[in-house]
Structure 1
Amino acid sequence: MIFRADLLIASLSESPRTISSMYYYDDTGSALYERLCMEPSYYLFRDEREIIAENAKSIASITGKVSLIELGSGNAEKTTLLINGYIEAGGLNSYAAIDINRSMLEKAAENILSVTPNLEFTGIVGTYATGLEKAATLVGAKLLISLGSSVGNMYDDELHSLLGSVRSFMASGDYFLLGIDLDKESNILEAAYNNQSAILANLCVLQHLNWRFKGNFSLFQFRHVAFHNKKLYRMEGHLEAMQAQSINLEKLNFSFSLKKGEMIRTEIMRKVNLHAFHAMLFKYSLRPVQHWTDRNQRYAISLLQLSEKTTGSDCEASRCS
């Protein structure tokens, strides 16, 4: 089961209370994310799209012909740009999309097959970990991709668990293409996560819990709060209770009380120093090959390769230009 009740109960019982960002991505949340990407202040989508559009053919020329596996594909709009680069450089073997939302996979199929109607397409409904297990039957050279700074939404234990799964899935010589947001000024970051679409998406997490678990959250009794936590190099999204209230998730037989002003953390958005991030990835034998940034150097896409024989000096030497 993708949405594990025991994990939700545990996260709502801890201090501070948290809700997994996984609950953003029902049909309503996915639609709001697409709307968020169009917000003028939300630079991430446009910057990443710019990087892929300008460098897709270069990426393809480095990896050669591969099978492409995407973690959290969404509607795969940006992925079509990458695939275009592969078509120009010699083509792809196949494309597999992993997402927790079946509707998004259907949109991904429409977008991908409109560009390459003869490409072998596989849609996998699941989390990153379960999706990689299902994709393990793929043979030959592979490029695993994670766009949209999705890994930035993970806490340290979740990120290291994912990297362990990635490491197990990949064979020596396979590639990993990773989009990640860079640390920057608070005013730019906070504007990106405090627009109307971001506010609605955050509140709709509670609507998702009400629908899935027969809850009684009142969206009008919560306030969206998002701020730059400079010490931890991340943005944080919260929902603040506007008054004391009792919450019941009937299907889970679980209740808890909130005080006025108490906040539930719904999301983190990691903002990285790229060299430090590469050093962490290197611990999983993922060697940085090259990276690209947008013209404002706010966002980065890194191409990494699994190599069992890299050394510390190799890591230093391959810090990207």
Structure 2
Amino acid sequence: MLRPIPTKRKLDDLRNYTIVGADIPETEIFRSDALIQSLSESPRSIGCIYYYDDTGSALFERLCNEPSYYLFRAEQEILTHHAKSVADMTGPASLVELGAGNAQKTTLLINAFMENHGPTSYAAIDVNRSILQKAAENLLSMRPDLNFTGIVGVYQTGLQQAATVTGPKLLVCLGSSVGNMYDDELRDLLHQVRSLFAPGDYFLVGIDLDKSSDILEAAYNNQSAILTNLCVLQHLNWRFDGNFNVFQFRHVAFHNKPLRRMESHLEAVQTQFVRLDKLGFSFFLEKGERIRTEIMRKVVICDFSKIFMNHGLSLVHHWTDHAKRCAICLFEVVNM
């Protein structure tokens, strides 16, 4: 039987629980200059950070339960069978997770580390403070001896905070989150990891393997995926006093085979004038014009690992699910 979930008051009283980074201004996390630039380019785009307000996070959890969305279940299968192998290979380490969400899959890793190595520290980085609170409640109800730190912020600010953790570290990034990054964003992340983490630290990365278009497009065109995509516009409306009308857009997601990635877009079904009043920014959208909201890389492991190696991260081992849809790769920080 699981122990009762601690109440918020009890969480706040625990010495092994804390939330940091909440004092970072939201303007530093949700940068208006970057948004204006991306919406002014051709093609227009919106950063996927705008998926993850409370509504978006809830819709993403719903997406993970869609029968056609295989990614969550595939990674959970891998960790169910191989989390202890990860703990064996790295030895004792503090876990640091990028884009932690509710940390449901990470529980398997935490259990393996605590069973193999005893008391363990876990630092969860996410832009959504309430989802970090939920993760803490879930984890500490099952592992009250876990040292939990929630870090509110984007990857860049969160990693700066996490770098102060002493001793060996295992950085974790699941859900193929690195697949949502453009080439320059991935290079920046790997450069920061290499500069902040020491030789002998590790980076555990979940990736989605390249596969047939029918499987990929089914995963990103179900009802939950459509609602999650449209939710981006609602986020911009409340955060920046915008006038996006979600009923004037349609969801478009397709497999871009030459670039080995899925792409999600929002297509205007009629010409419209869009305002974001808090930013003093406006623009016309023509009928049929698309705003790209997300890319999702579908990778080949040997090519992917070369990118990491160029930044001083050497592939130690990788594991796949039984259908070879996804992989989790363990990289070690090495001297260059």
Within a 5 Å distance, the mapping from 1:229-248 to structure 2 comes to 229-248=256-275
Distance 2:120 2:194 in 1: 21
Match of 1:316 in 2: none
Match of 2:56 in 1: 29
Distance 1:259 1:137 in 2: 48
Q: Where has structure 1 moved over 6 Å in runs of 4 or more?
A: none
Distance 1:91 1:250 in 2: 52
**Residue among 133, 138, 160 paired with 1:133:** 160
Distance 1:56 1:119 in 2: 17
**Residue among 196, 200, 208 paired with 2:235:** 208
C-alpha RMSD over aligned residues: 0.8
Distance 1:159 1:272 in 2: 14
SS of corresponding position for 1:114: helix
Match of 1:115 in 2: 142
SS of corresponding position for 1:77: coil
Cα separation, partners in 2 of 1:48 and 1:306, compared to 1, 3 Å: same
Match of 1:94 in 2: 121
Contact preservation (8 Å) 1:65, 1:92: no
Distance 2:185 2:99 in 1: 15
Give CA-to-partner distance per residue, 1:200-233, whole Å, 9 cap, x none: 0000100000000000000000000000000001
Contact preservation (8 Å) 1:80, 1:111: no
Query: What TM-score do you get using the length of structure 1 for normalisation?
Result: 0.95
Q: What is the CA distance between 1:120 and its match in structure 2?
A: 1.1
Match of 2:294 in 1: 267
Instruction: Find out whether 1:176 has 2:195 as its counterpart.
Output: no
Q: What is the CA distance between 1:115 and its match in structure 2?
A: 2.5
Q: State the AA in 1 paired with 2:171.
A: L
Distance 2:252 2:77 in 1: 29
Contact preservation (8 Å) 1:93, 1:120: yes
Q: What is the CA distance between 1:92 and its match in structure 2?
A: 4.6
Q: State the AA in 2 paired with 1:212.
A: R
Structure 1: unaligned runs, 5 residues or longer: 310-321
Q: What is the CA distance between 1:23 and its match in structure 2?
A: 0.2
Match of 2:181 in 1: 154
Q: State the AA in 2 paired with 1:129.
A: Q
Instruction: Find out whether 1:163 has 2:190 as its counterpart.
Output: yes
Q: What is the CA distance between 1:84 and its match in structure 2?
A: 1.2
**Residue among 275, 287, 290 paired with 2:314:** 287
Q: State the AA in 1 paired with 2:332.
A: Q
**Residue among 274, 280, 285 paired with 1:258:** 285
Contact preservation (8 Å) 1:229, 1:236: yes
Contact preservation (8 Å) 2:114, 2:120: no
Q: What is the CA distance between 1:85 and its match in structure 2?
A: 1.1
Distance 1:174 1:273 in 2: 24
SS of corresponding position for 1:9: helix
Instruction: Find out whether 1:192 has 2:211 as its counterpart.
Output: no
Distance 1:290 1:112 in 2: 27
Instruction: Find out whether 1:145 has 2:172 as its counterpart.
Output: yes
Query: What TM-score do you get using the length of structure 2 for normalisation?
Result: 0.91
Percent of aligned pairs with the same residue?
Answer: 67
Match of 2:22 in 1: none
Match of 1:14 in 2: 41
Give CA-to-partner distance per residue, 1:84-120, whole Å, 9 cap, x none: 1112212353110000000110111112212221111
Match of 2:25 in 1: none
Structure 2: unaligned runs, 5 residues or longer: 1-27
Contact preservation (8 Å) 1:67, 1:92: no
Match of 2:103 in 1: 76
Q: State the AA in 1 paired with 2:75.
A: E
Contact preservation (8 Å) 1:66, 1:92: no
Q: What is the CA distance between 1:15 and its match in structure 2?
A: 0.1
Give CA-to-partner distance per residue, 1:119-170, whole Å, 9 cap, x none: 1111000001100111121111100000010011111111111111111121
Residue-pair matches, total:
309
